[in-house]
């Protein structure tokens, strides 16, 4: 579970970085917000969630490299100052 602390939530630039971080993994990766789940490898899907500051989201990975996926997401969240 992550809480977005970025004042602008998820917008195009950090969204693109987050999607790019998981694009090469083989696992299926989803982000969930307000009971809606979208493919985290799709910038359009991520942007469609309209994730604001203070939102709680869940990242779900299913596949052989699940641990790598979560490490990538954690790193992006920290380096981009998106949340915790």
Instruction: Give residue limits of the domains in the chain.
Output: 2-79
pLDDT of residue 11: 78
Of 3, 11, 20, 37, the active-site residue reads 11
pLDDT of residue 66: 93
What span, in angstroms and rounded, lies between the C-alpha atoms of 81 and 60?
20
Under the banding of pLDDT at 50, 70 and 90, the label for residue 31 is very high
Under the banding of pLDDT at 50, 70 and 90, the label for residue 6 is confident
Architecture in CATH for domain 2-79: 2-Layer Sandwich (3.30)
> How far, in whole angstroms, is CA 3 from its chain's centroid?
11
User: Which tops the pLDDT comparison, 33 or 13?
Assistant: 33
In this structure, what token pair is assigned to residue 64?
Answer: 């052989």
Q: Long-range contacts of range 30-33, CB-CB < 8 Å, 24 or more positions apart?
A: 30/59, 30/60, 30/61, 31/57, 31/58, 31/59, 31/60, 32/57, 32/58, 32/59, 32/60, 33/57, 33/58
Q: Is the pLDDT of residue 12 over 90?
A: no
* pLDDT more than 70, % of the chain: 100
pLDDT of residue 10: 82
Under the banding of pLDDT at 50, 70 and 90, the label for residue 35 is very high
Is 11 an annotated catalytic residue?
yes
What span, in angstroms and rounded, lies between the C-alpha atoms of 32 and 34?
7
């Amino acid at each position: 579970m992550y809480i977005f602390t970025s004042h602008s939530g998820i917008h195009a630039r950090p969204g693109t970085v987050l999607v790019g971080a998981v694009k090469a993994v083989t696992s299926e990766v989803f982000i969930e917000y307000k009971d809606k789940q979208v493919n985290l490898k799709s910038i359009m899907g991520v942007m469609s969630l309209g994730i604001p500051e203070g939102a709680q989201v869940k990242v779900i990975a299913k596949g052989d490299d699940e641990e790598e996926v979560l490490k990538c997401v954690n790193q992006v969240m920290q380096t981009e100052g998106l949340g915790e």
